Structure 1
């Protein structure tokens, strides 16, 4: 695993939209349902506005289902909990155990996307459940390996400025909200406990499950989507970044009456990175976001640019 510079999302899983699934949903998701609009270094007062906005790399759904079908991570194993192992939690279930995808875990499309997290070869999808908000605020989950454990920050993900289908202000979760803003904010101080459990690194991938009425859809982002502004996996002790954006499920999560359904809950996942990351050449970076790269280089003196 390598580390995330603040966002999770996918390492070039696919370059197209929704992934085919064996189960037909109420309506196909769209990549622009969830977007990143700006990014900044943690602790900075200035945002870098992204033009155009960055839409999700991939999405699955929408599907018909409810939370009773969402498997929690394995809770009774004596040595591990919520570490992304094969069949350890809903997103890590293989296609023959999931009605929502026919791949080796959610969004896993080939063997080279699997991880060797148990020392048993590349069999692990790698998804870690970071937390969930069902109307009581974001409740972080924990990961455990042996006698070591880490609880994710309660402030790592939040929503604001939510609106109902008529554009009126609404409670983000548990009410009639169909759109709003979101913020992914990693801890400013490197969590040493998490490094110990996950091998000394962060995630570089993120997935968010949106659930409304009897439908849900899943959206992913990858740090590779931000390569042109100089972002890549962040090593322990290096500068971290916050990402902010918008979500709009009004055309995707529909109730039985055919109307946009209010957000019931959402769940946040991170995933171990796969392969290596190459920072783009300076000429490309300069065209899109040299100011953000300079912030990164200030903390990362050992960064090597490819030619």
Structure 2
């Protein structure tokens, strides 16, 4: 796993993601956010409004890989429980190894939780929203069920294109009512991280993004939801057997369910330039969309 010190908005996150059989080391700038939008409400008729951010593009908060083999196994119950799915400390099907002991991208700001309600805080909280299969440069997204419920995730949530081998665009675009549909699973919280796993050739790499990257608080289910747009360039991370960039076969989208999601306090790891920290939060305030407690 790789993280980088904060330069403008970046945080040096102490996150756990151990792995074996790495083919090449991922770079945070392999995958970037190039655009952000926010809905002007939480109903079906809400309009997505672009947020102008002069700090874009922004690289990932953390990454892990590249790992050899496929990025399964995928969750069964899909509620973020320990051992259920690769990012929750489950065993990789290809190697029979646990690539993320304790869960992927877990740290002080994003701790293990007791989601199962068994009195033990050992659940990483990662929920797989679905998988996009690439063919002819275009991805087809298949949503995942969450605890057997297939109504939460829509096929419009995630899109991926490939413009050349290992390069392309992605977008994470939940609709305005997604948090309301997910309330039975996430309660009053929304997600505090999302991660994209890119599979190409005989390997995959993971890239995580957080609200903290933009100096914003973890969103609540009552907040207007954000949409994220970006690019990826994996040409030096996911290589085929001939030493060339591998073409993308699929990408999977994961989100982390926080059992509690307080606003992040000041961090000793944050070194921001004037006008940078909290720019996203300020933009939301300016639009009159930030949740009032």
Normalised-by-shorter TM-score class = 0.7 to 0.9
- SS of the equivalent of 1:24 reads coil
Does the 8 Å CA contact 1:19/1:60 hold for their aligned counterparts?
no
Q: Which runs of 5+ in 1 are unaligned?
A: 1-13, 75-80, 165-176
How far apart are 1:50 and its partner, in Å? Answer: 3.9
Confirm or deny that 1:224 pairs with 2:212. yes
CA contact (8 A) 1:29 1:60 kept: yes
Moved over 4 A (4+): 16-20, 94-98, 109-112
Q: Which residue of 1 aligns with 2:163?
A: 163
Which residue of structure 2 aligns with residue 55 of structure 1? 59
Specify the alignment match of 1:152 in structure 2. 153
Q: How does 1:128-277 map to 2 (within 5 A)?
A: 128-135=127-134, 137-144=140-147, 150-160=151-161, 162-164=162-164, 177-227=165-215, 231-273=216-258, 276-277=262-263
- Gaps (5+ residues) in structure 2? 1-10, 40-46, 267-271
Change (3 A) 1:258 1:150: same
How high is the TM-score relative to the length of structure 2?
0.77
Deviation at 1:134, TM superposition (A): 1.5
Within the candidate set 28, 32, 41, 2:29 is matched to 32
Q: How far 1:240 sits from its partner (Å)? A: 1.6
How far is 1:96 from its partner?
11
- Which secondary structure does the structure 1 equivalent of 2:147 belong to? strand
| TM-score under structure 1 length normalisation | 0.74
Structure 1 residues 244 and 193: alpha-carbon distance in aligned structure 2, compared to 1, 3 A threshold: closer
Alignment partners' CA distance in 1, 2:109 and 2:283:
34
Give the one of 272, 284, 293 matched to 1:293: 284
> Is the alpha carbon distance of 1:233 and 1:131 closer, same or farther for their aligned partners in structure 2, counting shifts above 3 Å?
same
Distance 1:18 1:257 in 2: 33
State the alpha-carbon separation in 2 of the partners of residues 66 and 226 from structure 1: 31
Structure with greater proportional helix content: 1
Pair 1:191–1:19, CA change in 2 (3 A): closer
Give the conservation status (yes or no) of the 8 Å contact 1:103–1:109. Answer: no
Check whether the contact 1:17–1:30 (CA below 8 A) recurs between aligned residues.
no
**2:81 corresponds to 1:85:** yes
Determine the C-alpha separation between the residues in 1 that align with 2:152 and 2:92. Answer: 31
The verdict on how the C-alpha distance between 1:224 and 1:111 changes in structure 2, with shifts beyond 3 A counting, is closer
Cα 1:86/1:295, change in 2 over 3 Å: same
The 3-state SS of whatever aligns with 1:287 is coil
In structure 1, C-alpha distance between the alignment counterparts of 2:121 and 2:14, rounded to whole Å:
26
Render the CA deviation track for 1:86-134: whole Å, top value 9, x for unaligned. Answer: 1112221258996253520223357971011011221111110100011
SS at match of 1:219: strand
SS at the partner of 2:58?
strand
